[in-house]
Chain A
Amino acid sequence: MGKEYTKNYSTAELMVVRAAKEIGDGEVVFVGTGLPMIASMLAKYTHAPDSVIIFEAGTIDSALLHLPASVGDSRCVYGASTCRGLFDIFATVLQRGFIDVGFLGGAQVDRHGNLNSTIIGDYHHPRVRLPGSGGAGDIACLSKRTVVIMLHERRRFPETVDYLTSPGWVGGPGGRKKAGLIRGGPASVITNLGVMLFDGQTKEMYLASHHPGISIQQVLENTEFELDASRATETEPPTVEEIDLLRNTIDPEGLFIKR
């Protein structure tokens, strides 16, 4: 049976549908608050029913009858295999090397996928104080690969991030190894304009696809650093089934996908 695509979707819905595809069946997924929760639930409902959702506050393989509003939400406890605390997750699962894919966000990302979620401006006299690393720095250092979800604006895609909270490919090829990181690195960046992947040789971001209705030019204009668009195709739109799951099963309250 062929896929039945829909044109009736919001940008946020397209982003989570695309993000869900980053999760393989059976993979262990480190999930943060917001769109990653929705993407990981969608993956479980569709192509990856045996993926394992892990939240940093202590739960492993939550059943998620209701969408959590926090990674420490009581809603994460229901149906979990184990429920302990931060040390159990960060030390014995993440640092130990059992996270296949971790989701990240941030206020800024550079060409090598390094993220800032700490401050805008000078660290000692910041113009804007953001929430801080939380678990993001840990996920970035210790997952086997990471997927970044964020808004695509020129100021958010600068040449250099104001503060490096969550390491991507650091300075480029060999950058992570030099920093002492033994695994990991960003696989993709999913935004409201398109999907970026990282070149295997240069470890630099390139445009893999632009969303329907968004031109390549729009993506480039909203990126301060130079972005190779020679490999760009158009992002696959969501299916009727995916949008139905998002609206009626996963986030009926419109917690993270506002309606």
Chain B
Amino acid sequence: MSKTDKVISLQEAVEEFIHDGTHITFGGFTMQRHPMAFIHEMIRQGKRELVIYGHSPGIDADILIGAGAVKRVEVAYIGDELFVSPSPNFRRAIEEGSIQWEDYSNFGATLRLVAGALGLPFIPTRTMLGSDMITESGFGSEERCSDPKAAPKKLVLMDCPFTGDKVVLLPAVNPDVAVIHAQMVGHEGTVRILGQSYADDFMARAARKVVVTAEEIVSEEFIRRCPEQNCIPFFRVDGIVHLPYGTHPTACHGYYDYDPDHYAVYAQAARAGAETFQSYLEEYVYGVKDHWDYLERIGGAKRLSYLKADPALGYNPNVRRR
């Protein structure tokens, strides 16, 4: 792909980069900066059998599980902390046995992406020692052997060959696709993230293909005036989609806060059961024409102004959270 034709429409990006069975990871953390508009389009296009890697996803993984799009999650946590935890569709799917799962700690799950980003097959750590995350595997060896993209083992315990210390070896993850929502991207793909980067920089470096959705697309000349503020180099990015307010109802540092009212709507629908949740999907995903139509449904310009971040703080202290 040449430098200049990466900027594409949301529909094109999902068609081109996401397929049934794609192994995927999403940027963000619990209630923050998940590429929700992209995920809604994945649901509209009926993508299935996805395998999700992450550390602490929330509504991003949960809405896909509720839409029946997910085969397996390999994560540390799925929830939105204050607003809805654990995520209701995730909880129901595991209690009903309708998805596969594997539990790691947040550090462990992050390190698998770090190993992928470093081009290594595994990475050692001292975390998870003494826990059942070492001894129990949710996703069995037979299933692992039948999936060529899965790690053949959850992890391996070994003694360090230099010191004799016990260490845990974690298998690398190289997802097919990472989807990251950034505040700013250059038109050739240079990414700038404001606030915490979570593990987005490692996710992008570990993945085979990277799609960036962004609040703003700017010229490379502009974004390269301060290259020390950029965290993903242009040549690793394959697709760019302009999606202002693209993480709603999750927060986007410096631009807008999370939306507690929409979270309440989501939580109520998701907790009420699979059927009620379908009506949420009808209202906010299947029944909307596009992202702009979605922004109208959640309250339009008035709601978005209410959520807009105070530039001195990066969030909006007047958003009512209870």
Residues of A within 8 A of B (CB): 33-34, 56-59, 65-66, 69-78, 83-87, 90-91, 94-95, 118, 123-138, 140-142, 163-167, 170, 175-176, 179-182, 253-256, 258
Kindly state the separation between the CA atoms of A86 and B105 in the bound complex, as whole angstroms: 12
Kindly state the separation between the CA atoms of A235 and B126 in the bound complex, as whole angstroms: 36
In the complex, the chain B residue whose C-beta lies closest to that of A138 is B107
A59: which B residues are within 8 A, CB to CB? 196
B contacts with A: majority SS: loop
Kindly state the separation between the CA atoms of A86 and B203 in the bound complex, as whole angstroms: 12
Q: Tell me how far the C-beta of B217 lies from the nearest C-beta in chain A, rounded to whole angstroms.
A: 22
| Those of B60-92 within 8 Å (CB) of chain A | 75-83, 85-87, 90-91
Q: Tell me how far the C-beta of A65 lies from the nearest C-beta in chain B, rounded to whole angstroms.
A: 7
Kindly state the separation between the CA atoms of A141 and B257 in the bound complex, as whole angstroms: 33
B167: which A residues are within 8 A, CB to CB? 180
B195: which A residues are within 8 A, CB to CB? 74, 77, 83
A180 contact from B55, B80, B129, Cβ within 8 A:
B129
Contact in complex: A87, B128 (CB < 8 Å): no
Given contacts A72-B29, A132-B86, A138-B127, 10 further A-B contacts (CB under 8 A): A74-B257, A77-B253, A78-B313, A126-B95, A131-B86, A134-B79, A141-B130, A167-B129, A170-B130, A253-B320
Given A95-B127, A167-B129, A175-B130, check contact A74 B251 (CB 8 Å): yes
Kindly state the separation between the CA atoms of A209 and B198 in the bound complex, as whole angstroms: 39
Contact in complex: B125, A132 (CB < 8 Å): no
Contact in complex: B29, A57 (CB < 8 Å): yes
Contact in complex: B30, A72 (CB < 8 Å): yes
Contact in complex: A118, B132 (CB < 8 Å): yes
A131 contact from B31, B79, B165, B202, Cβ within 8 A:
B79
B131 within 8 A of A: yes
A69: which B residues are within 8 A, CB to CB? 31, 81-83, 258, 321
